[in-house]
Structure 1
């Protein structure tokens, strides 16, 4: 346990903005493993996932003076990983071919991608969320849309933190499973909801 482990993210960000390397180290140790696990849900290649996490923390250090300590640092990190993934996919889009797609995804007709707007895809994604069992749906929305932690949801719903984490896991697993049949919808889902 580090000497700054009892400090809040906000306090650490204030120190980080002043160039405190110990505050940076504490934030790194606090979130690197979580970001790595999150990155591995998108990149099967361990090295790509590690590069994503390292790049995010390099950017945190380089842009430390511009960080807003009044906002959630955890949310900032996961958003940064989502943008990294989006940019990675965008930059490699021209390298993609149907041969490189997994057999699980099947072929996506160009007319589907051309005819569906982002809002329509988002609507389809929301329909999938609405089909979840009621408690899973409520917990998932509180966590992903309202940014509440497992502890906060547990207090509000008078359930254990472990139960809340289990509901989030089950909801995410169910939604990911449903999205595998539509890669376009799956990308929108992953980039906007699962973090």
Structure 2
């Protein structure tokens, strides 16, 4: 595309660029990218403190814009882009927390041959306390807890599987978390990251 073409698109308002984008106009897409890419990257980088992740989220956003260009669902381009980026940032942070929590649980739950005897005993005590706490839950609450926190089923999924109302499922989850906190209270100082992962709603 020649220089005059680029200048031409730079004068277009967002609404005109969106209309052109729906007709597969690559020049309009390029102008949208140039107009908003750096601002979006700046927001993502400020939130995540990672250039690589910020670039990845912004690139994914623009790829989605191009892929869905014919749908014409965007009314306000600027508002749409920053809202879509916000949700991508939130989802990324959530996924990292889940991954970190799972890795932490695995490190606590698995015996490391290089640990000294004192560390091994502390880990065994934690494993025993956690299992004892689970065993002391009422049968229905234990089943709901297992499906929710260990197998990661949603409330509606558990409701359908156990033939209980969603309110009943939420009651059992709340009850289980409360009881487990009490059972594991003595181990709070050494296990608080694990408890945070288990009890995260």
TM-score (norm: length of structure 1): 0.46
State which structure, 1 or 2, has the greater radius of gyration over its C-alpha atoms: 2
TM-score (norm: length of structure 2): 0.45
Structure 1 or 2: larger helix share? 2
Greater relative CO, 1 or 2 (CA 8 Å, sep 6+): 1
